[in-house]
Amino acid sequence: MLITSVFGLLAALVCLTLLASPWPYLAPLVVLGVGGLLVLARRPVLGLLGLVVLVPFEGVFKESSISGAKLLGGALILVLATQLLLRRLPARYLTSNLWRPLALFLFCMVLSTVFTDNLLFSLNNWRELLIGMSLFAITLLAGRDLDLKMLCRLIALSVAITGLSAIASIEAHHTSERAIGFLQDANYFALLLAVALPPAALLILHARGILPRLFWMGVCLVLLVGMVKTNSRSGLLVLLLTCAVGIWQHRDRLRRIRPRHLGFVMFGAVILMPLMAASLPDDYVERIKTLSILKSRAVAQQDTSLGRRASYLLVGTRMIRENPLLGTGPGTFPLHYGRTGYAKAFSDEVGQIDILRRAHNTYLEIFSEMGIPAGLLFVGLILLALRNFAYARSAWVRRGDSEKSDRVAHLGMSLLTMSLFLLFLSVPNHKYLWILIALSSVVRAEAGEAPQKEGA
């Protein structure tokens, strides 16, 4: 009641001020904003789900200083902080076994910033990383009321919509360009598609009825076709590894296949595998074939992209050797790379030299910019989050709840997919990453607090 009264009074004052100003048409927006704050105050989890939905559409508002995600995130932080101060939310919701490695990582980052080679670059890196980390606390506080099945639906649908848009755009213009969705890079788009595939596969497994199952199979097909349209070699590699992990997770289901079913399985494989190989575009097949030149020393001459990534490794390892403890400072890899001859040699821009390039490897970037201790803590944070998902899955299996154990397992596979993709992209501030890391603590706490079933 107190929160409602305070928000109502503020809304009235702001509306009266706007009505007396040259912009009276903005007054209704204030009322809508206050109404949204009240909805978030009653159901903060809706704000978290809204942030999840907006992740694939961030490129639409990239040039805007104000976007829906920023407004929603700021409002959600305000609401959750107010509820914590008024003790409307239990402080135990913030309890997590991930705080210690995260705090130590931030401490190493502070030390690295003190001795940075460029303070401006480091402060900008702090700003980006803190935006992503804010979702860690938001998910811990609002995630207790989160419906994991609804989360899977929203992730799969929001990414599939962008994938369908990208496929339609390419087909309409009859172009061979790589699909990027609403983002600026095909590999970033492939990351979203790969992360959304485990939730989509879960929805196929747990669909009730033939029509819902066909619908989610169609969503999964859109994600796969979108992955092909990105022409991302790293995306294909991560997808294959994730599929292997998924098959291992559901090995018990595979044991149900009887010898009499084996013939049908082999017959389906004989039909599907050639069809899948024939459906791959020729340019994508050629890009995949270029991976064979990794054995050669002349990588840069045969494939510019692979040569550029090799140069990132050379520069990053040199930075680690020269500054193993504290690194060169957060966000300073582009500065060091720009001073090398590789930057000019591998520049993509015509008429403008693009030399300030990131490492396109989150782990390499953190180890080189913040030092080996910070890098080990970051890797440990992800491994501990994966362990939380494994613990929660095992707990639900022991209780005999296969549906909840599958949800936890597939969200854990999404985090595994993200962690593998970090080898090919510099995205330490990605919203999915920090949401899934925090969600691992939420599902572990829920599995630990759930009552044990009799006779389980």
In this prediction, residue 295 carries a pLDDT of 54
In this prediction, residue 454 carries a pLDDT of 40
* Extents of the domains making up the chain: 99-456
Those residues whose C-beta lies under 8 Å from the C-beta of residue 409, and which sit 6 or more positions away, are: 249, 389, 393
Report the 3 state secondary structure along the chain. Answer: CHHHHHHHHHHHHHHHHHHCCCCHHHHHHHHHHHHHHHHHHHCHHHHHHHHHHHHHHHHHHCCCCCCHHHHHHHHHHHHHHHHHHCCCCCHHHHCCCCHHHHHHHHHHHHHHHHCCCCHHHHHHHHHHHHHHHHHHHHHHHHHHHCCHHHHHHHHHHHHHHHHHHHHHHHHHHCCCCCCCCCCCCHHHHHHHHHHHHHHHHHHHHCCCCHHHHHHHHHHHHHHHHHHHHHCCHHHHHHHHHHHHHHHHHCHHHHCCCCHHHHHHHHHHHHHHHHHHHHHCCHHHHHHHHHHHHHHCCCHHHHCHHHHHHHHHHHHHHHHHHHCCCCCCCCCCHHHHHHCCHHHHHCCCCCCCCCCCCCCCCHHHHHHHHHCHHHHHHHHHHHHHHHHHHHHHHHHHHHCCCHHHHHHHHHHHHHHHHHHHHCCCCCCCCCHHHHHHHHHHHHHHHHHHHCCCCCCC
- Provide the whole-model pTM: 0.87
In this prediction, residue 156 carries a pLDDT of 95
In this prediction, residue 294 carries a pLDDT of 52
> Are 113 and 122 spatial neighbours (Cβ–Cβ below 8 Å)?
yes
Q: Split the chain (456 residues) into runs of 10 and give each run's mean pLDDT.
A: 62 67 64 75 90 86 70 87 83 88 95 92 91 91 90 94 84 68 84 94 90 92 88 84 84 65 58 58 60 53 72 91 92 89 67 72 94 96 96 90 91 94 92 95 86 48
Cα 108 from Cα 126, distance rounded (Å): 13
In this prediction, residue 344 carries a pLDDT of 77
In this prediction, residue 11 carries a pLDDT of 66
In this prediction, residue 197 carries a pLDDT of 93
